[in-house]
Amino acid sequence: MLIDDAALSISCCTWNVGGIDAPGLDVIRRWIDKGSDLIFVGLCEMIELSAIRVVRESVVPMSHERAARLQAWRHVLRSHLSEYELMCEDGLCGLALFVFSLRDQELASRALTATHRLGFGGLPNKGAVAARLEFERGATLCVVHSHFAADQDQCHARNANYRHLTNETWVFGAETTEVRLKPKHEFCTCGDFLCGESMPTGPVEARLLDHSLLIWMGDLNYRLDDVERGGSNYNPLVGGVTPASPEYRGLDAELEAALESKDYQHVVDSCCQLKRAMKQGDAFEGFREAPIRFPPTYKLIKNTPRLTYTKSRRPAWCDRVLWRTRNDYLYRGNAQLVTPPPRYLASLLGTNYDDACDDDDDDDAAALISFADHAPAIDAPVYAAVPTTLSDHLPVKCLLRWHDFWDN
CB of 393 closer than 8 Å to CB of 298: yes
Q: State residue 408's pLDDT score.
A: 53
In terms of Cα–Cα distance, which of 252, 407, 223, 388 is closest to 313?
Answer: 223
Query: Whole-model pTM above 0.85?
Result: no
Give the start-to-end residue ranges of the domains of the chain: 8-223+317-329+376-407, 339-372
Q: State residue 406's pLDDT score.
A: 66
CB of 97 closer than 8 Å to CB of 91: yes
Q: State residue 122's pLDDT score.
A: 73
From CA 404, how far away is CA 376, in angstroms rounded?
6
Q: State residue 119's pLDDT score.
A: 77
* Rounded mean pLDDT, 166-173: 95
Per-residue pLDDT band for 136 (boundaries 50, 70, 90) equals: confident
pLDDT, tens digit, 9 for 90 and up, residues 188-244? 333 332 334 444 468 999 999 999 999 999 999 999 886 443 333 333 333 333 333
Per-residue pLDDT band for 184 (boundaries 50, 70, 90) equals: very low
pLDDT, tens digit, 9 for 90 and up, residues 297-333? 999 999 999 988 887 788 899 999 999 998 665 444 3
Q: State residue 202's pLDDT score.
A: 84
CB of 85 closer than 8 Å to CB of 105: no
From CA 21, how far away is CA 24, in angstroms rounded?
9
Residues 6 or more apart whose CB falls under 8 angstroms from that of 205 comprise: 169, 170, 171, 172
pLDDT, tens digit, 9 for 90 and up, residues 50-67? 777 776 777 776 777 888
Q: State residue 250's pLDDT score.
A: 45
Residue 311 DSSP label: T
List of E strands, 118-231: 127-134, 140-147, 170-172, 204-206, 213-219
Percent of the chain with pLDDT over 70: 69
Residues 6 or more apart whose CB falls under 8 angstroms from that of 40 comprise: 10, 11, 12, 13, 97, 98, 99, 100, 131, 143, 145, 215, 217
CATH architecture of 8-223+317-329+376-407: 4-Layer Sandwich (3.60)
CB of 330 closer than 8 Å to CB of 369: yes
From CA 252, how far away is CA 274, in angstroms rounded?
21
User: What is the rounded (10 degree) CA torsion for 60, 66, 70, 73?
Assistant: -160
* Rounded mean pLDDT, 349-363: 47
Report the residue count for the chain: 408
